[in-house]
C-alpha cells in the first residue's frame, strides 16, 4: 500500500545528480532558454539512472510559464507518456521539487527526475495590465507577500544582519572565503563529474580568484544608507539548471548502487518580512524527521544568497561556517533562483557519494515570501 505523503521517508534513493555550469546573466549562457537548460540535466539524470522516469518535477521562478518541466522533458527526448510538473516556491523551488519527488517515490510512485532551472537572461518581461488611463506597468518580480509585508530580499537581508549582529567585516570575510573555496575546488576538478556542458560552456563563470575581504570592503552599501550588504557580499544573478534521479530503494536498479537516501525533508513558513531566516525552522524540522543533529552532519550546503543572511542562519543553528559550503556556495558559484536548491543536492551527491566524505548531509535554502526548505540525506552503498 502506498504510504501517505506526510510520513517519514525511508525508501527514496537519489542515485544520480547533475547540473549545468552556472552562468552570469547576460553572458555565456544568455542565449539558452530555461527549458533548454533543464533538458540538458533531465536527459543526463535519466541516462545516469538508466531508465526513463515516471515523472519530471522541476522548480522555476521566472520562466515563460506553460509548464517548463513538460517542455524540458520533451526536449530531453523522454517518452511522451512521462508526466511533468513545474513548481514555484521561489528560490526554494528546486529543493522543494526534490522533496516532492522523494515523497512521491517513498509513497510508491515510479522513478522521478526532479530539480530546478532558471534563465535570468531569457526571463520574459512582465507587465501589470493598464488601469484606466495608466499604461501597462513593467515589474521585475511578482509579489512575495501582501504589499505591507513585501520587502525586497536585499533590504530584508541587510535588516536581518543588523538585527542578528552580523558585522560588515564578517560578511566580507565570508564572501571572500566562498570565492577562494570555489576557485580551489574548480582547480582540483571537484565539479567536473557533476557538470554537464552547455553550448561549449563547462565551468562556472562567477568565482573570482584573489577576491579578498579588503577588496570587498571598498564596495558601498547596496540596499540602504549605512547598511552592510553590498554587491560584493551578495550572490549574483545567474542562469543554470540541476536535476537528480530518484529511485525506490526496493527497485532492482537501486540495489547495491551508491546513493543518497532521503531521510528527512521539510518546508516551513515564517514572517515574510525576514525571509532569510526561514531555512532555520525548516532545518530543525527536517533533522527531527531524520533523527540527526548538527553534530552528526558530515556535509552541509546552505544557499548563500547574502553573506549576512546565511551567517545569521548558521548562528541560529549553532553551525560553524567553516563546516558548510566547503567548495564555495552561491556567493561564488551564483544563484540561479529556481535551480539553486537542486544545485545544493548535486553538491551533496558529489561530496558524499562521488568523493565518499561521510554519512549524513544537509541542504537548506530560504525563499522570498518567508519560506524555507531543507533536506537531510544519508549515504548508502
* Three cell numbers written together for 94: 528546486
Catalytic positions: 91, 335
User: Which residues make beta-bridge pairs with 202?
Assistant: none
Closest C-alpha among 324, 301, 269, 277 to residue 161? 277
HSE-up (13 A, CA, CB side) for residue 99: 32
* Enclosing H/E stretch for 286: helix 279-290
- Angle at which helix 34-49 crosses helix 68-75, to 10 degrees, equals 60
C-alpha to C-alpha distance for 10 and 7, rounded to whole angstroms: 9
248 phi-psi bin (left φ>0, alpha ψ -120 to 50, beta other) = beta
Q: What would the grid cell of residue 20 be?
A: 549545468
Can you give the length of the chain in residues? 381
DSSP class per residue in 251-283:
STTTTT--EEEEEEEEEEE--TTSGGGGHHHHH
Secondary structure of 4-39 as H, E, C letters: CCCCCCCCEEEEEEEECCCEECCCCCCCCCHHHHHH
- Residue with C-alpha cell 535519466? 46
β-strands 112-119, 238-248 pairing: antiparallel
Task: Quote the DSSP letter at residue 299.
Answer: E
Amino acid at each position: 500500500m502506498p504510504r501517505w505523503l506526510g510520513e517519514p521517508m525511508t525508501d527514496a534513493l537519489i542515485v544520480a545528480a547533475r547540473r549545468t555550469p552556472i552562468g552570469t546573466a547576460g553572458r555565456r549562457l544568455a542565449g539558452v532558454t530555461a527549458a533548454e537548460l533543464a533538458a540538458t540535466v533531465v536527459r543526463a539524470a535519466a541516462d545516469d539512472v538508466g531508465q526513463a522516469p515516471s515523472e519530471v518535477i522541476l522548480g522555476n521562478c521566472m520562466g515563460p510559464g506553460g509548464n517548463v518541466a513538460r517542455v524540458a522533458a520533451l526536449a530531453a527526448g523522454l517518452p511522451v507518456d512521462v508526466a511533468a510538473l513545474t513548481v514555484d516556491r521561489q528560490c526554494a523551488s528546486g529543493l522543494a521539487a526534490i522533496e516532492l519527488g522523494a515523497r512521491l517515490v517513498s509513497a510508491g510512485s515510479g522513478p522521478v527526475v526532479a530539480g530546478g532551472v532558471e534563465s535570468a537572461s531569457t526571463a520574459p518581461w512582465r507587465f501589470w495590465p493598464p488601469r484606466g488611463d495608466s499604461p501597462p506597468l513593467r515589474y521585475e518580480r511578482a509579489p512575495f507577500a501582501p504589499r505591507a509585508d513585501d520587502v525586497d530580499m536585499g533590504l530584508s537581508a541587510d535588516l536581518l544582519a543588523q538585527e542578528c549582529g552580523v558585522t560588515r567585516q564578517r560578511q566580507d570575510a565570508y564572501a571572500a572565503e566562498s570565492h577562494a573555496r570555489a576557485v580551489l575546488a574548480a582547480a582540483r576538478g571537484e565539479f567536473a563529474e557533476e557538470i554537464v556542458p552547455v553550448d561549449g560552456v563547462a565551468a562556472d563563470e562567477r568565482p573570482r580568484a584573489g577576491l579578498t575581504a579588503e577588496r570587498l570592503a571598498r564596495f558601498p552599501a547596496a540596499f540602504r544608507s549605512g547598511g552592510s550588504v553590498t554587491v560584493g557580499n551578495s550572490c549574483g544573478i545567474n542562469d543554470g539548471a540541476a536535476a537528480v534521479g530518484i529511485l525506490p530503494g526496493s527497485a532492482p536498479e537501486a540495489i547495491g548502487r551508491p546513493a543518497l537516501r532521503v531521510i528527512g525533508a521539510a518546508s516551513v513558513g515564517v514572517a515574510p518580512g525576514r525571509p532569510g531566516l526561514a531555512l532555520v525552522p525548516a532545518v530543525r524540522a527536517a533533522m527531527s524527521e531524520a533523527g540527526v543533529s548538527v553534530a552528526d552532519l558530515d556535509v552541509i550546503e546552505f544557499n548563500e544568497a547574502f553573506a549576512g543572511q546565511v551567517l545569521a542562519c548558521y548562528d541560529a543553528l549553532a553551525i560553524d561556517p567553516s563546516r558548510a559550503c566547503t567548495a564555495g556556495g552561491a556567493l561564488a558559484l551564483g544563484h540561479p533562483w529556481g535551480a539553486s536548491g537542486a544545485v545544493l543536492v548535486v553538491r551533496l551527491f558529489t561530496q558524499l557519494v562521488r568523493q565518499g566524505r561521510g554519512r549524513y548531509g544537509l541542504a537548506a535554502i530560504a525563499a522570498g515570501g518567508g519560506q524555507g526548505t531543507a533536506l537531510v540525506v544519508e549515504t548508502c552503498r
